[in-house]
Amino acid sequence: MQETLGTFIRERRMELGLTQEELAERVGEGVRQSEISRLEHDRVTLPRRARLEQIAAALDVSMGDLMVRTGWMDEENRSSLSDDPSEQNGLHSGDLPGLNDPVAISAQSLEAAMEALSTTQDLVAHTAVMLDEAERTVATALRSLKNERGPVKSRVGVIRQWETSTVFRA
């Protein structure tokens, strides 16, 4: 069953009978309980590969198990990930496994990436339309102010003019 990285870390830590502080100590120097908490609550979306390797070692699981159980890698692509750092074939810290080898990218991963790209393009297009509408609305409001009160000299002047006219109308 696929689970989030945070859920996997929390459940495995509890299986081992460790506190967050104890796991932080096992992960490595400079790792605090707060980082473990953020990971367990899925507030860190993409930890660096080196940190994932440290976490896997601290939890007594292989990097492959961690990646497959959390859905970051398909079982059939697992062979592209070596648990031996000397056999990593040029993967750099922070890379996801399989991204340097186009053959290792699963159809599902490619499909998900294409969908994310399409969604991003749609959001950018929608944002551009909203910005155009906002620009037209602001321009209309400024023209309206200019026609109603004469040329706009400064924001403070317009606000004082509006406050004065509102006070004297009442």
Residue 76 tokens read as 């059939």
Which residue ranges make up each domain of the chain?
5-103, 109-169
- DSSP assignment string, 8-62: HHHHHHHHTT--HHHHHHHH-TT--HHHHHHHHTT--SS--HHHHHHHHHHTT--
Task: From first to last of the 170 residues of the chain, give the pLDDT tens digit.
Answer: 568 888 999 999 999 999 999 999 999 888 899 999 999 998 887 778 888 889 999 999 988 888 888 877 766 665 555 444 434 333 333 445 555 555 556 666 767 777 777 778 778 877 888 888 888 888 888 888 777 766 555 555 555 555 555 555 54
Residue 110 contacts residue 123 (beta carbons within 8 Å):
no
CA-to-CA distance for 74 and 86, rounded, in angstroms?
22
CA distances from 169 to 134, 161, 162 (A): 31, 12, 11
| pLDDT for 37 | 93
In single-letter form, the type of residue at position 127 comes to T
Residue 84 tokens read as 């031996």
CA-to-CA distance for 143 and 113, rounded, in angstroms?
45
| pLDDT for 158 | 55
pLDDT tens readout for residues 30-55: 889 999 999 999 888 777 888 888 99
- Which fold would CATH assign to domain 5-103? 434 Repressor (Amino-terminal Domain) (1.10.260)
